[in-house]
Amino acid sequence: MNENNLIQNSNRSRDEVEKIRKKGGVNSGETRRRKRDMKQKMKALLELPAASNDKEQLEALGVDPDDMDNEMVLVMAMFLSAAQGDTKAFDRVMQILGKDIGHEELALKKREFKLKEKKAGLDDSAALDKLDEVLAKIGGDG
């Protein structure tokens, strides 16, 4: 879209601005309802009992029969993918378990930074420069 084609709200009539805002609000509400409904449907599907072939696999892994639902099937699939060497699946499993190494490393670096900042008595601008430096090390050459 070309910026020259855009008309600022300050150049529109009050009625026109009101109609645009109302239309945006209606669309926003529809989107929220659609997302809410999709979430409810997904929850309903995940709570359904696992199919018989999935139950056999879950049973072989030692899963309690009361826990054999579609959510457990997804967890099993992710676990098996990770066990077969899928690094994305492994990362996701670690994230679910709260053992996300990147997250822990970032939290540790932030704590170190705060301690160093207190020790050095840095002012705000120097602290921001130092934070940029630390974040560059984390994101860049590690």
**What letter represents residue 94's amino acid?**
M
Q: How many CB atoms lie within 10 A of CB 124?
A: 7
Q: Are residues 53 and 93 in the same domain?
A: yes
Q: Are residues 75 and 86 in the same domain?
A: yes
CA angle 96, 98, 36 (to 5 degrees): 45
In this prediction, residue 105 carries a pLDDT of: 74
Q: Does residue 92 fall inside a structural domain? A: yes
Q: Output the six-digit token pair for 15.
A: 């009625």
Q: Does residue 73 fall inside a structural domain? A: yes
Nearest CA among 61, 65, 67 for reference residue 79: 61
Q: Does residue 21 fall inside a structural domain? A: yes
Quickly state the pLDDT bin for 142 (edges 50, 70, 90).
very low
* Residue 28, SS3 per DSSP: helix
Give the residue carrying structure tokens 């053992």: 99
- Over residues 96-141, the pLDDT tens digits come to 888 876 767 777 788 888 887 777 765 566 777 777 888 887 766 5
Q: What is the pTM of this model?
A: 0.54
Q: Output the six-digit token pair for 74.
A: 């997804």
- Cβ atoms 71, 47 nearer than 8 A: yes
What is the C-alpha separation between 126 and 117, in angstroms, rounded? 9
Q: Does residue 86 fall inside a structural domain? A: yes
The total number of structural domains in the chain stands at 3
Give the residue carrying structure tokens 């409810």: 40
Domain of 60 in residue numbering reads as 49-97
- Over residues 40-79, the pLDDT tens digits come to 999 999 999 999 999 999 999 999 999 999 999 999 999 9
